[in-house]
């Protein structure tokens, strides 16, 4: 039924149309609206990150002579229908504004008089558009989320973000505003976003339509709960996710793996997961163990199970032109295409092309190979490396996926990479699925994605940035996150400076979602095959006992602390699974009424009850700590009580770090003091 000359009620959604442009505003989850716009033709049906709502919301639609509005719970969108002609000059028409509980929170920019601005600008390309979407925003708001970047920026207001996937960068286009709304740019195109003081502008370099989702709630927890209800939540965390994961670059033979696991067992140090890194295969894309180094996989996995250790193996999406699978994958169209030039997309240890996980046939075929060559021999967990994927040259225009050009669709690649393994493992009866992955997009969390921060440097500067990266990932809806403890590049195990860094980083990782030791330690060691032929080098030893007695004593103490945290972490992980709550939480998440909490980026809450303050400066034996207002706090190290709303200088010798809890919780958590 037509409501006026511009608006139409389509099964409880609002469709506005004028001069071939269509705007569809739909209720999509509690207190939430989805907006799609096309400049010509019909609205396109792809949903990308969004799941279909379980129940259709009862939205209210009202119409006036000048426009219409649609209300879904706390959220309302208005759209103006103003005569496009006024004394011969074009005026704005179809302008959207959004309200939470009756208060305007975001609106499209207006025509701007003589400025002749356009909020929704579709620049024609060959069969698609370059899209620029500009909103007027509140200059006083704070903005958080958007995934993982390595610049240490916390409040993103006044800053910009590249929307593309790179090694150490995971672009997740969802932000939380201090006005208690959340916004998802449901568009996997390469582009950028600018959170200017008075405007927010999104750019997609190539796309077929405008698509975004907005929600409003009472507090940060409500926003995250509503967002993850429509993009998915992490599965229940499996028990092996709570303990120590041992890795290095790289265990290159079967004897190493078993001997390390056995030594942990002999020392009485609990070990949950052993990880075999890359180039355990003959050629990239073979997806099997090299029998010259791993001659009896069933025997190895059987021994690890006897020790209570699960095995994780690295999988890369690269297929070498010399791989036994290359010709078949290429013939069946399962590889990423080049639009021009020689079809080689990375040249690390071979000339390779990437698997195209946006193609359902690729997903099915790869899992068949993985199950046969790994899972059937006892491998239970998978490390999905190179998930951006990491092109030698990030020339996004030159690559094409099954779903479209990389400029148009590229950011969704890690989403389908995780989905491939999630679907495969689920088909084998696994329900608590967790796979390590180096990149993610909105919605990746529902496929059991444990994202790690990539190949970061081994120094205190990079370490400090990881705290911010973890907090922003949690606020973008991905609560499972970890790092290479100690950093990946440049850590020399012979130096006292690296040992200090490793201890401080390990302390932080103990209070992270997953405790995982990994890195490419110096000095390197050459490796040869039994016949003397070349094999990729390995780094120095990276086990708890590899750095001397002092380091071993501290690290092993923190492993015991991690074990003692299991009951508490069970409750925290249950919140992530049930409500989408971050595991690592910014202070404002629990203390939004404390204005100071919106600016603290080197402290965080693990769950709701533990305030963790990592030591992030070299040679520091104390640090400043801010304790949020509204509570009294007690140190878990010595039981000393502090008044909230103040800053303190806290002693932090090398063998400990400041951890606090509210005084009301101290009795339940005081048992942790024996480890601090």
Tell me which H or E stretch contains 517. Answer: strand 515-517
Which of 191, 190, 173, 171 minimizes the C-alpha distance to 182?
A: 173
- Asked whether the beta carbons of 262 and 534 are under 8 A apart, the reply is no
- Asked whether the beta carbons of 535 and 529 are under 8 A apart, the reply is yes
Query: pLDDT for 322-366, tens place per residue?
Result: 999 999 999 999 999 999 999 999 999 999 999 999 999 999 999
pLDDT at 1: 35
455 in catalytic set: yes
| 279 shares a domain with 153 | no
CA distances from 201 to 95, 110, 137, 141, 212 (A): 15, 13, 10, 15, 13
**Domain-terminating residue out of 563, 579, 595:** 579
Which pair of tokens denotes residue 551? 């380091």
Which of 386, 379, 385, 388 minimizes the C-alpha distance to 425?
A: 379
| 507 shares a domain with 363 | yes
Out of 205, 236, 388, 603, the active site residue is 388
- CATH number of the domain encompassing residue 490: 3.20.20.80
pLDDT at 347: 95
Q: For residue 475, what are the contacts with CB-CB under 8 A and spacing of at least 6?
A: 144, 145, 175, 176, 220, 224, 582, 586, 589
User: In the 8-state DSSP scheme, what is residue 51?
Assistant: P
Q: Is 258 inside a domain boundary?
A: no
| 314 shares a domain with 227 | no
CA distances from 337 to 307, 329, 333, 441 (A): 44, 12, 9, 21
- Asked whether the beta carbons of 650 and 627 are under 8 A apart, the reply is no
Out of 455, 459, 541, 579, the active site residue is 455
Query: pLDDT for 454-469, tens place per residue?
Result: 999 999 999 999 999 9
| 225 shares a domain with 246 | no
Q: Give the residue carrying structure tokens 């939540």.
A: 233
CA distances from 463 to 123, 460, 509, 671 (A): 41, 5, 11, 28
Q: Is 342 inside a domain boundary?
A: yes
Out of 377, 385, 386, 602, the active site residue is 385
- What's the rounded Cα separation, in Å, for the pair 544 and 183? 43
pLDDT at 321: 98
| 452 shares a domain with 418 | yes
| 590 shares a domain with 626 | yes
Mean pLDDT of 274-278: 98
| 328 shares a domain with 184 | no
pTM: 0.97
pLDDT at 468: 98
- Asked whether the beta carbons of 57 and 238 are under 8 A apart, the reply is no
- What's the rounded Cα separation, in Å, for the pair 354 and 390? 9
272 in catalytic set: no
| 37 shares a domain with 127 | yes
- What's the rounded Cα separation, in Å, for the pair 484 and 381? 17
| 524 shares a domain with 590 | no
290 in catalytic set: no
Query: Per-residue DSSP letters for 59-115?
Result: -EEEEETTEEEEEETTEEEEEE---SEETTEE---S-EEEEETTEEEEEE----GGG
Which pair of tokens denotes residue 541? 């030893």
Which pair of tokens denotes residue 110? 């207006």
Residue 573 clears pLDDT 90, i.e. is over it: yes
- CATH number of the domain encompassing residue 641: 2.60.40.1180
Computed on alpha carbons and rounded to an integer, the radius of gyration of the chain in Å comes to 26
- The total domain count for the chain is 3
Mean pLDDT of 433-437: 98
| 541 shares a domain with 397 | yes
pLDDT tier, 92 (very low <50, low <70, confident <90, very high otherwise): low
Domain hosting 629: range is 586-675
| 194 shares a domain with 153 | yes
Q: Is 259 inside a domain boundary?
A: no
Helix residue ranges, H only, 428-548: 460-475, 496-510
| 226 shares a domain with 244 | no
Q: Is 465 inside a domain boundary?
A: yes
């Amino acid at each position: 039924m037509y409501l006026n000359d511009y608006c139409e009620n389509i099964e409880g959604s609002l469709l506005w149309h004028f001069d071939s442009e269509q705007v569809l505003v739909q209720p999509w989850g509690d207190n939430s609206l989805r907006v799609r716009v096309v400049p010509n033709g019909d609205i396109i049906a792809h949903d990308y990150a969004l799941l279909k709502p379980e129940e259709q919301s009862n939205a209210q639609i009202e119409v006036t002579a000048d426009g219409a509005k649609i209300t879904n719970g706390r959220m309302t969108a208005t759209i103006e229908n103003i005569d496009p002609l006024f004394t011969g000059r074009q005026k704005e028409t179809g302008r959207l504004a959004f309200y939470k509980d009756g208060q305007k929170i975001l609106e499209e920019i207006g025509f701007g008089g003589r400025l002749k601005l356009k909020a929704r600008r579709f620049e024609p390309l060959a069969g698609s558009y370059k899209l620029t979407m500009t909103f007027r925003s509140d200059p006083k708001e704070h903005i958080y989320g958007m995934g993982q970047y390595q610049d240490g920026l916390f409040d993103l207001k006044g800053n910009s973000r590249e929307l593309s996937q790179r090694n150490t960068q995971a672009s997740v286009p969802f932000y939380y505003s201090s006005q208690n709304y959340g916004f998802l740019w449901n568009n996997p195109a390469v582009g950028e976003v600018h959170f200017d003081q008075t405007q927010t502008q999104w750019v997609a370099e190539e796309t077929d339509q405008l698509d975004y989702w907005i929600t409003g709630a009472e507090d940060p927890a409500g926003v995250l709960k509503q967002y993850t209800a429509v993009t998915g939540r992490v599965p229940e965390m499996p028990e092996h996710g709570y303990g120590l994961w041992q890795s290095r670059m790289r265990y290159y033979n079967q004897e190493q793996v078993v001997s390390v696991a056995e030594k942990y067992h002999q020392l009485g140090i609990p070990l949950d997961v052993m990880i075999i890194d890359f180039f355990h295969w003959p050629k990239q894309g073979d997806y099997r163990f090299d029998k010259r180094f791993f001659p009896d996989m069933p025997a190895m996995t059987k021994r690890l199970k006897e020790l209570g250790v699960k095995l994780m193996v690295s999988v890369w999406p690269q297929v070498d032109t010399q791989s036994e699978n290359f010709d078949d994958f290429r013939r069946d169209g399962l590889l990423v295409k080049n639009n021009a030039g020689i079809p080689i997309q990375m040249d690390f240890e071979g000339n390779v092309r990437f698997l195209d996980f946006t193609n359902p046939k690729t997903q099915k075929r790869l899992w068949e190979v993985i199950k046969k060559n790994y899972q059937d021999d006892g491998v239970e967990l998978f490390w999905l490396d190179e998930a951006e994927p990491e092109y030698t040259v990030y020339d996004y225009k030159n690559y094409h996926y099954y779903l479209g050009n990389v400029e148009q669709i590229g950011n969704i690649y890690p989403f389908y990479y995780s989905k491939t393994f999630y679907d495969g493992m689920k088909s084998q009866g696994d329900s608590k699925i967790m796979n390590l992955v180096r990149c993610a997009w909105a919605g990746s969390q529902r496929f059991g994605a444990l994202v790690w921060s990539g190949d970061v440097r081994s120094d205190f500067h990079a370490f400090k940035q990881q705290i911010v990266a973890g907090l922003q990932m949690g606020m973008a809806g991905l609560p499972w996150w970890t790092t290479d403890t100690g950093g990946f590049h440049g850590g020399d195990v012979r130096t006292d400076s690296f040992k200090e860094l490793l201890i401080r980083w390990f302390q932080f990782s103990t209070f992270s979602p997953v405790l995982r030791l990994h890195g490419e330690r110096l000095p390197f060691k050459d490796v040869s095959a039994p016949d003397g032929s070349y094999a990729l080098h390995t780094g120095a030893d990276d086990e708890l006992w590899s750095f001397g007695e002092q380091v071993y004593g501290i690290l092993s103490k923190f492993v015991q602390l991690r074990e003692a945290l299991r009951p508490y972490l069970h409750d925290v992980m249950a919140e992530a699974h049930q409500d989408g709550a971050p595991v690592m939480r910014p202070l404002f998440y629990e203390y939004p009424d404390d204005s100071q909490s919106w600016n603290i980026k080197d402290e965080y809450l693990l769950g709701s009850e533990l305030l963790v303050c990592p030591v992030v400066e070299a040679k520091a034996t104390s640090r400043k700590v801010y304790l949020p207002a509204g509570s009294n706090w007690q140190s878990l190290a010595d039981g000393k009580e502090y008044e909230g709303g103040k800053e303190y200088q806290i002693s932090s010798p090398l063998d400990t770090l400041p951890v606090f809890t509210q005084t009301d919780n101290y009795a339940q958590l005081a048992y942790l003091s024996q480890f601090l």
